[in-house]
Amino acid sequence: MKQPPSKNLQRILLVDDEAEILESCQRCLLSSGYHDVITENDSREVMNLLAREEVTVIVLDLRMPNLTGLELLPQIVAKYPEIPILVATANNDVDTVVNCIKQGAFDYLVKPIDVKRLITAVRKALELSSLTNELSTLKQYLFTDRLDHPETFGSIVTGNKNMRAIFQYLEVVSGTRQPIMITGETGTGKELIARAVHELSGSTGEFVALNAAGLDDNMFSDTLFGHRKGAFTGADQARDGLITRAAGGTLFLDEIGDLNEMSQIKLLRLLQEQEYYPVGSDFIKKSDARIVLATNRDLLERIKQGKFRNDLYYRLCGHRVHLPPLRERLDDLPLLLDHFLGLAASCLGKKKPTPPPELATLLGLYPFPGNVRELEAMIFDAVLRHPGGVLSMESFRAVIGDERLNSKQEPQEAATVGGALNAIFGHFPTIDEVEEYMIREAMRRAKGNQGLAAKLLGMGRQTLNKRLKGDGRTAAAEA
């Protein structure tokens, strides 16, 4: 039986009759992060080896005794057309190269093999191979509508067919080492998806998340890449960055639409070469962390504004999923409503309330700019204030507004929101005023319990605590 390569490992086969060449190419690929490199010095054994073991890419010397690479190439192509083959030729003979490409070789290398060229060519061949695999697996998924690991998506409550298609796509691409980009409005579940990708990839390492919003380049580089001792005033000790913690696992970079130019360049290097420099160090380091990225910004718009690099954008486009906003998957509302009612009730130590039958329909009229997070906060609030029996619609009305419930039309909606804001503040408020108001109101409703207030606000407890303490705003003091 064939020996499959372990998940995520892509097996490279080097075929050459010269042991020294095999050894040096193998060493160079291993040190570049390719962990599964096997060799064969007898060309007559290659077909047996391929029948025995799964191989992703082959580097094939053309000049070998007994059976030359030129003779072997068509045999491999005929039996294993999915394996990209890089031929190694001793001279830069155009005719030979053209002949090999015509016979199905993917690319060629000139001997003595240049290390950089070998690594680039192998990387490209592996990318091609994983794309081919993805395509054929996707075709199968399309015809069978199956999910191999539904349990991985257990924390993502949905019955929506677009979300299911996203899960299927993720099952296919999670096996590759290519970065995955997740876009979608705030609160649509991007982090949940990133965690599912981590689980699917079968990595043994940790899932490590970094929110890049508000980080300048120094903070971004230091947090992600770490620093060497003495790199800057106060750097008394060398310190590893999050990328080290994510070794063998997944690095989730959130809000990458906010990264500044310098950080974008560093991220591009990391994605392209899997390389980085700790702050203050000239020694390059390698990372094998799987990278998942997310943003709720429109990156094409950021490119137009000159705030996001084109090359980085295209690098991110390989594997991309876009999570639809909640208002575009209203079929999920009843499921989510039921899920969060149960969750809120058990968190608050209450009996799960029965929702009024019209609640899901009414919620469907609201655009949910904060998506699932907003719905979750709304339901926690309602359950918190719920005395027993059937859940009251009042707390939902208070947030959504009666008139808004009756209309989906933009201008009317704006007028209603504007009207509501004016009624509360007496004028059109600033963001800070709204934030102060929200924090004060959440603390009041949660009777001073910061954990609950944070849940209502859809923010982390620590973030709320910082706001309450840190910036000396009046709302914090009053709350």
Ligand X SMILES: Nc1ncnc2c1ncn2[C@@H]1O[C@H](COP(=O)(O)OP(=O)(O)OP(=O)(O)O)[C@@H](O)[C@H]1O
Q: Which residues contact 261 (CB under 8 A, 6 or more apart)?
A: 309
Nearest-CA neighbor of 478 among 437, 421, 428? 437
Q: Which two tokens stand for residue 253?
A: 């970079």
CB of 128 to ligand X, least distance (A): 32
Label residues 153-169 b or e (16+ Cβ within 10 Å = b). beebbbebeebeebbbb
- Closer residue to ligand X (CB): 64 or 333: 333
3-state helix, strand, coil in the chain (%, to 5): 50, 10, 35
Q: 244: closest CA among 199, 179, 289?
A: 289
Alpha carbon distance 352, 349 (integer Å): 9
Q: Provide the b/e sequence for 288-318 (b: ≥16 CB within 10 Å).
A: bbbbbbbbbbebeebeeeebbbeebbebbeb
Nearest distance from C-beta of residue 355 to ligand X, angstroms: 17
Structure tokens belonging to residue 66: 């007994």
Q: Which residues contact 190 (CB under 8 A, 6 or more apart)?
A: 182, 183, 184, 254, 294, 296, 323
> How many residues at the interface with ligand X, by CB under 6 A?
16
Among residues 324, 313, 317, the alpha carbon closest in space to that of 267 is found at: 313
* Burial (0-12, 13-18, 19+ Cβ within 10 Å), 235: middle
Q: Which is closer to ligand X, CB of 155 or CB of 412?
A: 155
Interacting residues with ligand X between 285 and 324 (CB under 6 A): 296
Map residues 370-409 to x or -, x wherever contact with ligand X holds by CB under 6 A.
--xx--x---------------------------------
455 makes contact with ligand X (CB under 6 A): no
If the CB atoms of residues 188 and 203 are measured against ligand X, the closer one turns out to be 188
Measured from the CB atom, the residue of 184 and 226 that comes closer to ligand X is: 184
Q: How far is the CB of 373 from ligand X (least distance, A)?
A: 4
Write each residue from 103 to 142 as x if it is in contact with ligand X (CB under 6 A), else as -, in one continuous string: ----------------------------------------
Q: Which is nearest to 248 in space by CA: 274, 210, 212, 281?
A: 274
Closer CB to ligand X, 107 or 254, in the complex: 254
| Shortest Cβ 184–ligand X spacing (Å) | 6
Token pair of 11, please? 């097996």
For residues 186-215, which are near ligand X according to CB under 6 A? 186-192
Position closest to ligand X via CB: 189
Query: Is residue 254 involved in binding ligand X (CB under 6 A)?
Result: yes
As given in the structure block, the two tokens for residue 270 are 């990391």
For position 331 contacting ligand X by CB under 6 A, the verdict is no
Contacts of 109 (CB under 8 A, 6+ apart): 59, 86, 87, 88, 89, 117, 118, 121
Q: Of 130 and 296, which CB lies nearer to ligand X in the complex structure?
A: 296
Closest distance of CB 29 from ligand X, Å: 36
Contact flags string 150-189 toward ligand X, x per CB under 6 A:
------xxx-------------------------x-xxxx
Smallest distance, ligand X to C-beta of residue 368, A: 11
Minimum distance between the CB of residue 191 and ligand X, rounded to whole angstroms?
3
Q: Name which of 191 and 199 has its Cβ closer to ligand X.
A: 191
Please state, in angstroms and rounded to a whole number, the distance separating the CA atoms of residues 119 and 337.
51
Q: How far is the CB of 190 from ligand X (least distance, A)?
A: 3
* Least CB distance to ligand X at residue 338 (A): 11
Q: Which residues bind to ligand X, rule: CB under 6 A? A: 156-158, 184, 186-192, 254, 296, 372-373, 376
